[in-house]
Chain A
Amino acid sequence: MKKVKQTVRIMTLVATITLTMSCKDAETKNDQPKNHSEMNHQKEKNQEMSMNNGQMTSGETILNKYFDLKDALVNDNNSKAKDMGNALAESLKTFDATIYSSNEKNELNDIIQDATEHAEHIGKSDIKHQREHFKMLSKDLTDMVAITGSSIKIYEQYCPMYDGGTAWLSRSENIKNPYYGSSMLNCGKVQREIN
């Protein structure tokens, strides 16, 4: 009798576990579309907001976010760089390429896709990785500026020591190295001025 009781108890427990598990499963499944629609909603909202401002993200906005990210790396600030990387990725996703010719549009879309991936990685990596991706991101944005142009003067700067020679963009002529930060802050030189 005792044994039967025990078995019944175990069976009940197992049934409960199975039920909770499947419920949990069902819940997550239900949650997903909900989250999605919420996300879409958020996206719509963001789009609306940028529409209200008259335009979607321009090359200018993206450059400004890039410069914020660069400054975070100059300051060896890993967590700030993560935030800036994510912010940049968001802007890149809403980049408006419609005003460009179809050739330029293709090139820009390719650049944006690549840059978004780097920005997303920067959003979740340690600082060493962030700098590796920042190198490729800098190349992407340099190519972007070649098409979109810039209203302010930009300096392309170059550090011969990092990874066989690496460039980055800056608003200021002064060298502040985002690849080494405080350990070699002034390593580098202005390579080119972009107007």
Chain B
Amino acid sequence: MKIVKIIAWIALIAFVVVQFFQVDYNRSETVPQTDFMLVNNVPAMVEQSLQVSCYDCHSDNTDYPWYNKVQPVASFLEDHIKEGKEELNFNEWGNLSDRRKNSKLRSIINQIENGEMPLNSYTLIHRDAILSEAYKIAVIDYMKKLKDSLE
């Protein structure tokens, strides 16, 4: 029993200590002119879906709920967001060539169709980020249209 108590204490103190390790939050006050929504004429339904389901990891601005600022969750998320932005950053859409837009759109369509995005580990907590069938179809249709307009 004593051991359990000691372990609990250690865990608690370690948890407090780890809070002092700061992370770089993915926050930006401004939206650049190259943003996907500014470059394209995006229907409201699609815009809302992208903002809620994608922009947290695929833009320069993450909407952090309080529990995501708690360590070690925050560190885990930092890597996650970095990786997400490397693959695709909607804020920098306008900087991509048509060829690269085409590639990105194809990947977006494939991954949403196959249910690979948004990630399960993300929707587990962000229940509102789950794309319902109607929203999924709206997003895919729009992305396909956009892709066809580039070809």
Taking Cβ atoms with an 8 Å cutoff, the residues of A that contact B are: 6, 9-10, 13-14, 17-18, 21, 25, 110-111, 113-114, 117-118, 132, 136, 140
The 4 closest A-B pairs by CB, nearest first: A14-B13, A110-B97, A114-B99, A18-B17
Decide if A14 touches B17 in the complex (CB within 8 Å). Answer: yes
User: Chain B 95-120, CB within 8 Å of chain A: the 1/0 string?
Assistant: 00101101100110010000000000
Question: A18-B17, A25-B21, A136-B106 are contacts. A13–B10 as well, Cβ < 8 Å?
Answer: yes
By DSSP majority rule, is chain B's interface helix, strand, loop, or mixed? helix
Q: How large is the interface on B (under 10, 10 to 19, 20 to 34, 35 or more residues)?
A: 10 to 19
By DSSP majority rule, is chain A's interface helix, strand, loop, or mixed? helix
B-chain residues with CB within 8 Å of residue A17 when the two chains form the complex = 10, 14, 17
A132 to B9, CA, bound (A): 51
A13 to B10, CA, bound (A): 8
B-chain residues with CB within 8 Å of residue A110 when the two chains form the complex = 97, 99-100
Q: A17-B10, A21-B17, A140-B99 are in contact. List 18 more A-B contacts (CB 8 A).
A: A6-B6, A9-B6, A10-B6, A10-B10, A10-B13, A14-B17, A18-B17, A21-B18, A21-B21, A110-B97, A110-B99, A110-B100, A114-B103, A117-B100, A117-B103, A132-B107, A132-B110, A136-B106
